[in-house]
Amino acid sequence: MGIWAWVQPVDRIWKVVSDNEKGKISVYNERDVLVFEQKGLSKEVISLIEREFLGVIATSLSENKSNAVKDNKKQAPEYNYMYT
């Protein structure tokens, strides 16, 4: 299970909970009210969403045990020519 902090453009923080075992992703607003939930997802789909979407726009609040062994420094994002 992963918990992510997703900062919104209007200075609000939403919480995203991804659960590989249940195949579910839930999004809660700043008042902890459920605003979106998707069920019936495969582990591969949830991993893809975590890696390609949440990994870019959100901050993980629950580090994997495999990441804990690595250096705690966060890597600088790769330079993207599209945003120049």
Q: Global pTM?
A: 0.68
Predicted local distance difference test score (pLDDT) of residue 80: 64
**Residue 64 has which token pair?**
């994997």
- 7-47 per-position pLDDT tens digit: 888 888 999 999 989 999 999 999 999 999 999 999 999 99
Kindly report the CA angle at 32 between 1 and 60, in degrees rounded to 5? 35
Is residue 70 included in any domain, yes or no? Answer: no
Predicted local distance difference test score (pLDDT) of residue 59: 87
User: What φ, ψ does residue 69 adopt, rounded to 5°?
Assistant: -75, -30
Q: How far apart are CA 23 and CA 30, in angstroms?
A: 23
Is residue 27 included in any domain, yes or no? Answer: yes
Predicted local distance difference test score (pLDDT) of residue 68: 38
Is residue 11 included in any domain, yes or no? Answer: yes
Predicted local distance difference test score (pLDDT) of residue 77: 63
Name which of 18, 28, 29 is nearest 62 in CA terms. 18
Report DSSP letters for 28-48, one per residue. Answer: E-TTS-EEEEE-S--HHHHHH
Question: In the chain, how many domains are there?
Answer: 1
What's the domain range around 31? 2-62
- 61 has a pLDDT exceeding 50: yes
Is residue 30 included in any domain, yes or no? Answer: yes
Is residue 7 included in any domain, yes or no? Answer: yes
Predicted local distance difference test score (pLDDT) of residue 14: 93
